[in-house]
Amino acid sequence: MKLARKLIWDCEVKEIILSTNSGQIGVLPNHAPINTAVDMGPLRIRLLNDQWLTAVLWSGFARIVNNEIIILGNDAELGSDIDPEEAQKALEIAEANLSKAEGTKDLGEAKLALRRARIRIEAVNWIPPSN
């Protein structure tokens, strides 16, 4: 996974669930080669030891070829790095700002911030499937 600033992940995994503009897709080994836009949303990764990891991705692009997935994004946060209290506060602030926003630009920014805050809360609260 590459951030605009640096390479932040490079390892083998079992399964990846990615949010795209056309819905969530699950990626298992030998997935058909595709290019896809990545939507703002959770990224769930099942490691080789069956542990699940969550991260939050902001919009970007992903390419899957030959069992290798490259995700280009501006920013990503590991679920484990998100402080639940801080995320909750951010959500409350975003909701307050939305009700105060006026004008296309401010409304656009406020909606975006709210969506981000909701996704981060979701990432923190997610319980991995047990199998």
Partner 1 sequence: MSCSHLSTAWSSAAKVRRAQEAVVSSRPFSEALVEVLYNMNQEIQSEDIDLPLTRQRAVKRVAIVVLTGERGLCGAFNNNVLKKAEARMEDLRQLGVDYTVISVGKKGNAYFQRRDYIPTERFLELAGIPTVKDSQAICDLIYSLFVAEEVDKVELVYSKFVNLVRSDPIIQTLLPMSPKGEICDVNGICVDATEDELFKLTTKEGKLTVEREKIKIEMQPFSPVVQFEQDPVQILDALLPLYLNSQILRALQESLASELAARMSAMSSATDNAIDLRKNLSMVYNRRRQAKITGEILEIVAGADALSG
Q: Which stretch binds partner 1 (CB under 8 A): 29-37, 43-51, 78-86, 90-98?
A: 29-37
41 binds partner 1 (CB under 8 A): no
100 binds partner 1 (CB under 8 A): no
65 binds partner 1 (CB under 8 A): yes
**CA 3 vs CA 27, 66, 74, 112, 128: distances in Å:** 20, 21, 6, 20, 25
93 binds partner 1 (CB under 8 A): no
CA distance 64 to 77: 21
Taking the complex as a whole, the smallest distance from the CB of residue 49 to partner 1 amounts, in Å, to 28
CA distance 70 to 35: 10
